[in-house]
Amino acid sequence: MRRRDFLALSLGAIAAIGCVAGRKEDAVKTAKFVAPQPQTDLIESIERAAIEEEQSAQEAMEEGIGSEDSQAVPKDNLEIVKESRELKPIVAQGDELELLTSVFKRLASVQKYIGFGNFNIISFDAMISLARTAKTVGAFTYAELTYLEKLFFRDAKAYGFFGEKVTTKLTEEIAQKEVFKAPNTGHYLYKGKAAQVYESVKKDIGDSIIMTSGVRGIPKQFYLFLAKTLECKGNYSEASHSLAPAGYSYHGIGDFDVGKVGYGEKNFTQDFAQTQEFEKLMQLGYIAIRYPRGNPYGVYFEPWHVEVVT
């Protein structure tokens, strides 16, 4: 499934659960969130880069690598540790579900505006600033920002997600000089260990394996987590079993996902564990999977997610 189709589907799903009508415009648009003044040069260069990004993302999709948007939720949750399953799920309803929907749409329009690759690494502040100046995005409302802040600082254990919070600052920035874009993927990797691991995997397995998701900043993780939450009808707990809440993803600090070229969306399902590529990956001896079967974190088995940060 292409990203645009996914977005259309997501919005369809949102419509199906009755959340699109009458987005509330919040009267208070400023207050304590004072974003930095827009940097015109920066925004122009982002806009130029966006065109290039879209092309490269499009090429990547055409290679059939799939998109992390489609990370599958298995049909039953018996794989999830008991402690996680026994908690009462946290579900967004009413006004909160409406807010979740409007935030998700705005995040999606930021991604469309700056391009898939740029969106992977944009910081929270840069995004807020850009949204104010980009007519097709529009400023985040005070209510939306407050909601994102609340979401970021909520302890994910309440969802039944027991992973570590690896990024504790909402405004954490990914330094451009610390990352690079891996060819034909639309994704970034951290220089150093992540790059070395990926290079070795490519060398040892060959062209049939490719990175399907790399460095992800806070906005990108919000986008994926909220997309998954909408798919789960507002159920944050269920979403957290297949997508880490923002701040809790190791993609923020070095991990990456791999898939089989041409395997498309199945790269983000447990079917990936049946491929020769996965078998070879396991035989290398230097690769560990972040969320193996029966992991204690309340996360489904993710055969595609390579652990880099130890």
Q: Which residues bind Zn ion (CB under 5 A)?
A: 257, 305
Smallest separation (angstroms) from Zn ion to the CB of 100: 22
Nearer to Zn ion, 106 or 187 (CB): 187
Name which of 234 and 303 has its Cβ closer to Zn ion: 303
The token pair that represents 235 in the structure block: 């159920």
Q: How far is the CB of 268 from Zn ion (least distance, A)?
A: 9
Q: Give 69 or 257: the residue with its C-beta nearer to Zn ion.
A: 257
Which residue, judged by CB position, is nearest to Zn ion in the bound state? Answer: 305
C-beta of 52 vs 164, nearer to Zn ion: 164
- Residue among 69, 13, 9 nearest 269 (CA): 69
Residue placing its CB nearer to Zn ion in the complex, 3 or 305? 305
Q: Cβ of residue 16: shortest distance to Zn ion, in angstroms?
A: 27
> How far is CA 137 from its chain centroid?
19
CB of 74 to Zn ion, least distance (A): 16
The minimum distance between CB 68 and Zn ion, in angstroms, equals 7
257 vs 265, beta carbon nearer Zn ion: 257
* Distance in Å, CB of 222 to Zn ion, minimum: 15
71 or 101: CB nearest Zn ion: 71
SS (H, E, C) 296-310: CCCCCCCCCEECCCC
DSSP assignment of the chain, as one string? --HHHHHHHHHHHHHHTT--S-PPPPS---TT--PPPP-HHHHHHHHHHHHHHHHHHHHHHHTT---GGG----S--TTS-HHHHTSPPPB--HHHHHHHHHHHHHHHHHHHHH-HHHHHH--HHHHHHHHHH-TTT-PPPHHHHHHHHHHHHS-GGGGT---------TT----GGGEEEPTTTS-EEETTHHHHHHHHHHHHH-TTEEEEE----HHHHHHHHHHHHHHTTTBHHHHHTTSPPTT--GGGTT-EEEEETT-GGGGGSGGGGGSHHHHHHHHTSS--BSS-TT-TTS----TTEE----
Nearer to Zn ion (CB atom), residue 106 or residue 305: 305
Could you tell me the smallest distance in angstroms from the CB atom of residue 274 to Zn ion?
Answer: 18
Can you tell me the distance from the alpha carbon of 29 to that of 170, in angstroms, rounded to the nearest whole number?
Answer: 19
Q: How far is the CB of 63 from Zn ion (least distance, A)?
A: 18
Q: Closest by alpha carbon to 307, among 296, 291, 285?
A: 291
